[in-house]
Structure 1
Amino acid sequence: MGISRKKVHEEIADLIMEDIRKGILNPGDKLPSISSMAESHQVSSASVREALNTLRVMDVIEVKHGQGSYVKERMPLGFEYEFEIITRKDIENLLGLRKIIEVGCAELACTHAGEDDLVKLYGALEKMQTAVMNNELGEQADYEFHISIAESTGNQMLVDLLDDVSEKMLETMKETRRIWLYEEKKSIRRIHEEHKAIYEAIRKKDIEGAKEAMLTHLNGVESVLLEHHK
């Protein structure tokens, strides 16, 4: 059976992920060659390459130079058998905590952030932009941006609170970016724009604008993650 014309590479990626979920492909297994998959799905090699690149960025497969593509040994959170790592309740609790802390941090940053803090925030923004250009997720730069806002408040306890949940923050940041990249509900570029709006409000010392921009961003993250973990 051929692949539908709509979003061909996504259809191929879906089929590969389904084979992984069903155990037809297991962690560490080598995928069929590009030409073989193109022939079996009756699509172009370019579409298969695009599908594989999408799965690579999502951290589902790895490409070994000169050897081919392999299923990663550890699957991302979006796979059913790993939902226990971060549950729906975990997401609700984490984003609830982040809204309380980070909206307040954005407010304080407007009155406490110095020039060095703004330079650091802008640097994180540039790293996110570079990730977009390189077709990468950029979750490390994302985390750096948010923790830098907390640091700019001058309140170490706020920094420590975020640091205590840093592992789950990074996992949810990575998962959100995978979902937006794969399902195209939003693009990675849109995430960058949301962070830029937060930065600009802090730079202008616009307290209400900073609070609103931060809350809008976190609400969006929560919505996408909860939708994906139904």
Structure 2
Amino acid sequence: MKISNKKLYEKVADVIILDINEGRLNIGDRLPSIKALSESFGVGQATIRESLNALRAMGFVDIKHGQGTFIIEREEPQFNFEAISGNAKDIENLLEVRNIVEVGVARLAAKNRTDEDLLAIESALKDMQLAINENELGEASDLKFHLAIADAAKNDILKQLLLNVSDIMRHTMKETRKIYLYTKSKSIEKLYNEHKEIFEAIKSKNAKLAQSKMTFHLEEVEKVVLNNIRHSDS
């Protein structure tokens, strides 16, 4: 299947996810080699690698060096976004969970990150900038950014906690970005800069600064989302 579109890695990932959901790929199956996938999709090998890294971050595959990429059982989210979407308190609770987990994740990422981790985080950041340039919301690259930081933290339990709520995170990120887009005081560019500052702190291996920047970012998101919900309810 040939693909011609911007953000090719997302399109490749979407096709593989569809194959998993429709039973053409099963748990334990090994995907073809990067070279074979590149030829099959008609894209470069770098695009395939980025797609596989995104699928790994979302919990669909496990990449075993020297062995290949395998489909794994993905744990379903523990929450129902539709059930909480209109309840300000429940959304506040969910944001608090993110705050507790991701602040620690950012601190650990600054301490434990590798150069490869930095490339993955920076790739997500570049996708965010591309989304701004093309007037898109960019929630997929936002999720990719946060999951890449979880990878860099080198703590499988913390990473799994985020993966368990990754679908809900993407929903809330999409809604948050809509609010930012239409709120004069909170622009998408400001949101991008908050992410960039988190990246720079992790890059410099400044654990305290990374923790502080993540705290500030999540608190800003919480204020914008909850204020919007309460305003809508009033």
Q: Post-superposition shift, 1:161?
A: 0.4
Contact 2:84 2:91 in 1 (8 A): no
2:45 corresponds to = none
How far apart are the structure 1 equivalents of 2:84 and 2:208?
37
Look up the match of 1:95: 95
- 2-side partners of 1:166 and 1:188: how far apart? 21
Could you tell me how far apart the structure 2 residues matched to 1:219 and 1:105 are? 16
Structure 1 counterpart of 2:118: 118
Normalization by structure 1: what TM-score? 0.63
Give ranges in structure 2 of 5+ residues lacking alignment: 1-81
Aligned pairs, how many?
Answer: 149
| Shift, 1:83, TM fit | 8.4
Name the counterpart of 1:108. 108
Cα distance in 1 for residues equivalent to 2:85 and 2:200: 35
Match of 1:184 in 2: 184
Aligned to 1:38: none
Whether contact under 8 Å (2:114, 2:152) holds in the other structure is yes
Aligned residue identity for 1:189 = E
The match for 1:62 is none
AA in 2 matched with 1:205: K
What is the distance in 2 between the residues matched to 1:211 and 1:178? 26
1:156 pairs with 2:163: no
CA distance in 1, matches of 2:182, 2:83: 18
Give secondary structure in 2 for the equivalent of 1:111. Answer: helix
Q: Which residue of 2 aligns with 1:145?
A: 145
CA distance in 2 between partners of 1:84 and 1:151 (Å):
28
How do residues 121-132 of structure 1 correspond to structure 2 at under 5 angstroms?
Answer: 121-132=121-132
Task: Flag the 1:140–1:86 CA change in 2: closer, same or farther, 3 A.
Answer: farther
1:90: how far off? 2.2
Amino acid in the other structure paired with 1:214: M
Identity %: 46
TM-score of the two chains, using structure 2 as the length reference = 0.61
User: CA separation in 2, counterparts of 1:94 and 1:85?
Assistant: 11
Q: Is the 8 A contact 2:112 2:153 kept in 1?
A: yes
1:183 CA drift (Å): 2.3
Q: Return the alpha-carbon distance in structure 2 between the equivalents of residues 213 and 85 of structure 1.
A: 27
- Between the aligned partners of 1:208 and 1:84, the Cα distance in structure 2 is 33
- In the superposition, relative to structure 1, how do residues 206 and 84 fare at CA in structure 2: closer, same or farther (>3 Å)? closer
Q: Please give the alpha-carbon distance, in whole angstroms, between the structure 1 residues aligned to 2:102 and 2:88.
A: 21
Please give the per-residue CA displacement for 1:116-165, whole angstroms capped at 9, x wherever unaligned: 00000000000000000000000000000001111111111111101111
Aligned-partner Cα distance in 1 for 2:181–2:127: 17
Q: Which residue is equivalent to 1:226?
A: 226
